[in-house]
Amino acid sequence: MTVTVAVDAMGGDHGPAVTVAACLAFLRAQADAAVILVGREEILQAELARAGAKPSDRIRVLHAEELVGMDEAPALALKHKKNSSMRLAINQVKSGEAQCCVSAGNTGALMATAKFVLKTLPGIDRPAIATTLPTQSGHTYVLDLGANVDCTAEHLLQFGIMGAILASAVDRKERPSVGLLNIGHEEIKGGEVVRQAGELLRQAPINFHGNVEGDDVYHGTVDVVVCDGFVGNVALKTSEGLARMIAAILKEEFSRSWLTRLLGLVAMPVLKAIRHRLDGRRYNGASLLGLRGIVVKSHGSADVFAFQCALDVAYHEASSGILARITEDIAAAGAAVGS
Cβ 286 to a second copy, closest distance in Å?
14
Q: Which of 57, 172, 192, 258 binds a second copy (CB under 8 A)?
A: 192
How far apart are alpha carbons 297 and 284 in whole angstroms? Answer: 8
Three-state DSSP at 130 gives strand
181 touches a second copy (CB under 8 A): yes
231 touches a second copy (CB under 8 A): yes
Cβ 184 to a second copy, closest distance in Å?
9
75 touches a second copy (CB under 8 A): no
> Which one of 5-13, 24-32, 201-209, 249-257 is the stretch in contact with a second copy (CB under 8 A)?
249-257
19 closest CA partner among 105, 90, 78: 105
Q: Which of 218, 279, 332, 334 binds a second copy (CB under 8 A)?
A: 218
Q: Which of 216, 223, 317, 329 binds a second copy (CB under 8 A)?
A: 216
- Beta carbon nearer to a second copy, 191 or 205: 191
Q: Which of 76, 245, 335, 336 binds a second copy (CB under 8 A)?
A: 245
Burial class (CB in 10 A: 0-12, 13-18, 19+), 135: middle
333-339 contacts at long range (C-beta below 8 A, 24 or more positions apart): 333/123, 333/157, 333/161, 333/204, 333/205, 333/206, 334/123, 336/203, 336/204, 336/205, 337/157, 337/200, 337/203, 337/204, 339/154
Q: Which of 46, 49, 51, 248 binds a second copy (CB under 8 A)?
A: 248
78 touches a second copy (CB under 8 A): no
Sign of the torsion formed by the C-alpha atoms of 60, 74, 317 and 139: positive
227 touches a second copy (CB under 8 A): yes
Q: Which amino acid is it at 267?
A: A
- Beta carbon nearer to a second copy, 29 or 273: 273
